[in-house]
Structure 1
Amino acid sequence: MTLFPPKEQLLREEIVLVGKLMYERGLIVAADGNISARLDEQTILLTPSGLCKGMMIPDQLITIDMSGRKVGPETAANRHLKPTSEITMHMEVYKQRPDVLGVVHAHPPHAIALSIAGISLADCMVPEAIVGLGLTPTTPYANPASEENARAIREVIVGHDALVLERHGSLTVGRSPMDAFFRTETLEQIARITYMLHQLGGGQPLPPHQVEKLIQARRKLGFDRAADAADFCEYCGVCHIEGEHTSPPAPSNGSTAELVQLITERVMRELNR
């Protein structure tokens, strides 16, 4: 007979399934990665430290409060276990994003490799990335499992559902652990495509008028986030969406050539609408 309420038991089973999928698809190895779910405003369910996330059972998961203290019923399977070492990063996400109900941290190899090479995923190359993820920023390197790591994601997670952690991995959030996992999977797929593009000599981004249509689709699906307007203006040249307007970055040092180029791009975008 289960020790847990039905809702919590289902979340435990979902987290175990997500761990298996991450392990099977090469997004983590050995004891890498961690997964969590919000049980209520004060309680988080998360994976333990030191276990292979592809081989967990529901009773091994640990419940903590927002101070990081273990709470809830202990089981024979989790009594000797400690919460994930990335506990501060998970708690920071839940503090900054009341809407988030699931968090996944993985070590996707292509995303990590690109971050080490200084190649960003914040571009407008692939439609699925624009609609489903938005633009994915890379946070500066911080030691894993440190307070510095939690600080590195603090501000940027407010406006994004997916981050690349430089040299470290990925952090994705969603309405459930499975929702967050799907974003991890998409992020690594985009990283793989980006890696291939660089092997082939690069590629052309989608034109602004096409990006604008994808942004509108993103909004209709309810995927839009606080950082979208600034991100799409800076990286994709789309600074006017559905009546909203965000000024493009000012040219550096008052350069006439940059100003002319900026005005030309704006005029061409308006002509293509």
Structure 2
Amino acid sequence: MARLYRSMLYIPASKERALEKARDLPADAIIFDLEDAVLPEEKARARDILLRELAVADFGSRARIVRINGLDTIWGRDDAAAFAGNAAVDGVLVPKVGRPADLDAVAALMPQVPLWAMMETARGMLNAAGIAAHPGLVGMVVGTNDLAREIGSRFRPDRLPMIAGLGACLLAAKAEGRVVVDGVYNAFKDAAGLRAECEQGRDMGFDGKTLIHPDQLAVANEVFAPSPEEISLAARQIAAFREAQARGEGVAVLDGRIVESLHVETAKRILEQAEAIAGGSE
């Protein structure tokens, strides 16, 4: 069954109460953050807290991903050493990946640990194809706040200033079959704005959304899930195509539209996602 990444919630590893609450939140994945969300003087303590939490907590089917500090900091190598070989970790998120060699350096310290790349710099976006092709990579997470700061863009609801970067990362990930998750929406009390940005990301092709507050989970999970209408259409497209094949025809017609094998592939992915969502809610 396909793993879901509709919602990936950042949780500061220094916040013990937040870590406890995360066990029951309806997030597809938890990003345990040792980097931006933790003050420098709290880094070592946060690492110890997270190690203890992962040793005893049950996070169910949620993906458990640790965002370590960069290897260019005084904490990065200790983070990597602490979580290398930890069976409770499903992946490590590497910050500010600018080139494939950045992933090589982490992989050397954490062999066999699935890698995720934070795509949050101009250089990273320009090198997205090479990063996506790294053999240890599972997925890419867009860091829109850092990207906006680096390129000097202003906030716009349509995110036009960073569309080129988002598109480059998206194309690179899809070309290599990687998961790719959109950046955060900062105004966590603005549900309408969050929904609009989730819909934009979904329509572009992102697999989900990174989130900064539990109140954002419901919207992301809804938007990045196939609708009942999409599920029904997918099932009917597959059935119509099979009937056409049985007649010796290579295409089908459904509701006045052509259905080809490429439409069937998309329909199968929709039904697979719907099945995974239903399985996770049982």
Question: What TM-score does the superposition give when structure 1 sets the normalisation length?
Answer: 0.31
User: Is the helix fraction higher in 1 or 2?
Assistant: 2
Question: What TM-score does the superposition give when structure 2 sets the normalisation length?
Answer: 0.30
